[in-house]
Amino acid sequence: MPTPRRTIVLVGFSGDWTLFLGRLNPEEIVVFVEEPDVVRKRGVRDKLAALDCPWRLIEWPHRDPGAADAFAAAFGDLRAAAVVPALEYAVPFAARLAERYGLPGASLGAALVLRDKAVLRRVAAAAGIANPVSREVGSLDAVRGFAAEHGLPAILKPADLQASLGTYVLTSEADIPLAWEQAQDQSDGDAFNPDRLPPSRLLMETFVRGAEFSVELLVAEGECLFGNVTGKQLYKGPHPVESGHTVPADVRGDTGARLLLDTRRLVDATGFRTGFVHAEWIVPDGVPHLVEAAGRLPGDMIMPLINHAYGTDLVAAFLDVMRGAPVSVPLPNRAATRTAVRFVTADEGVVEAVAGVEEARAVDHVLEALVFADPGDEVRELRSSFDRVGFVTAAAPTTGAAVDAARAATDRITVKTVPARP
């Protein structure tokens, strides 16, 4: 009788992760764990049916208290080799399930801190890390009170959502009613959430002005094995949605070293053990201020940019540490080239036509150009990362050349929309 395969448990369904499944060992099978409501709303079974590798889907309410312990009791014979959070919302469940299976992971305590921006602020501040002033607000009057006390601009944001959902930069008192209304409307990310969950709590925070970065760390048993600083660019307007990234970031003086050091301090402060940390920062006057942090791989094409820039496979390295195995790929401390991504947007409405993608791919230094909005799809106002419709990635000897190539390619892409019917 053949020996049952070991399993890589991926908590949360992610289209990005379906592209990473070539990193699995031949004796491993992937088991996706996802909320029943999310399986239905995102058509997960149909998407998995298109994969050409062994997989299994277990529908499980992983956002509930005690869900990982109940899962371990029900599936104690799963022969898990690693438990990996594939999405932001899966981080606590994955951390606790790894503990129950005796596998490497973030630790439940660290995962819970990272998933709640209000708690993260308290922990980071206690560790001496600079933070904006932050306060939970439950009413319009509370928002107005914070603005009166600390001034504008200020940020209204959910405490535990992803992709800039519900986040609004308030620049005048007249913005407050619309910002409050949009913060309550979290439907952009509804497909990623089970129906039973209440709306997220909201925070008001002081506005920090400066260059924006993220730091990506691969951590094994509290030791940082790899670190990178990514440069961030944002669209103009009240919604702080990323328009592009550069890897590695062009940083002045000791800013890069300071960002890496403060992210390592955050790892220590949260008690994070093993996995991937993605922390976002704003740097005014040379002092990094924490925006937020996550205990999972970054999105927004940052992983492909890192892999190309450093000539490695950081996803394979991540899976190695989650298995508790030695890292099987090189982890350079310097990038060999410079990479960039620029995102594609479209006017609100219904997509009528898409053109220029092949022309974009033909631009020198371009790695990939993709539009994932098809004719007939509806495009919403740009309020979160979910409202972008495509991207271009590029690599070149200098950051400027990579950014120029990505910009030239996106300029060739047109996504024509017409007003949606009432």
**∠ CA 259-261-267, rounded to 5°:** 105
Assign residue 275 a region (left: φ > 0; alpha: ψ between -120 and 50; beta: otherwise): left
Strands (E), 27-77: 28-34, 55-59
Strands (E), 111-210: 134-137, 154-158, 168-170, 202-206
Per-residue confidence (pLDDT) for residue 325, from 0 to 100: 97
Tokens of 239: 């919604």
Cis, peptide link before residue 153, omega less than 30° from 0: yes
Hey, what's the torsion of the CAs at 288, 291, 297, 301, to 10 degrees?
-90
Would you tell me which CATH number, out of the four given (3.30.70.890, 1.20.140.70, 3.30.1490.20, 3.40.640.10), belongs to the domain 133-206?
3.30.1490.20
What is the chain's pLDDT, residue by residue, as a tens digit (422 residues)?
445 689 999 999 998 888 888 788 888 999 999 999 999 999 999 999 988 888 999 999 999 999 999 999 999 999 999 999 999 999 999 999 999 999 999 999 999 999 999 999 999 999 999 999 999 999 999 999 999 999 999 999 998 877 678 899 999 999 999 999 888 776 656 788 888 888 889 999 999 999 999 999 999 999 999 999 999 999 999 999 999 999 999 998 899 999 999 999 999 999 999 999 999 999 999 999 999 999 999 999 999 999 999 999 999 999 999 999 999 999 999 999 999 999 999 999 999 999 999 999 999 999 999 999 999 999 999 999 989 999 999 999 999 999 999 999 999 999 999 998 87
Per-residue confidence (pLDDT) for residue 146, from 0 to 100: 97
What is the CATH number that goes with domain 6-103? 3.40.50.720
Q: Based on DSSP, count helices (H) and strands (E) in the chain, helices before strands.
A: 14, 19
Check for a shared fold between 6-103 and 338-422: no
pTM of the predicted structure, to 2 decimals: 0.95
Answer yes or no: CATH 3.30.470.20 is held by domain 209-336: yes
Q: In this predicted model, what pLDDT tens digit does every residue of 22-61 receive, in sequence order? A: 788 888 999 999 999 999 999 999 999 988 888 999 999 9
The three-state DSSP-derived secondary structure of 397-418 is: CCHHHHHHHHHHHHHCCEEEEE
Beta bridge mates, 378 = 350
Phi, psi of 17 (to 5 degrees): -70, -25
Strands (E), 185-288: 202-206, 211-220, 223-234, 242-247, 275-283
Residue boundaries of the structural domains of the chain: 6-103, 133-206, 209-336, 338-422
Per-residue confidence (pLDDT) for residue 326, from 0 to 100: 97
Per-residue confidence (pLDDT) for residue 163, from 0 to 100: 67
**∠ CA 411-417-419, rounded to 5°:** 145
Domain covering 338-422, topology: D-amino Acid Aminotransferase; Chain A, domain 1 (3.30.470)
With CA atoms as reference, report the closest residue to 5 among 58, 54, 64: 54
Cis, peptide link before residue 248, omega less than 30° from 0: yes
Per-residue confidence (pLDDT) for residue 29, from 0 to 100: 92
C-alpha–C-alpha distance, residues 262 and 282, integer Å? 12
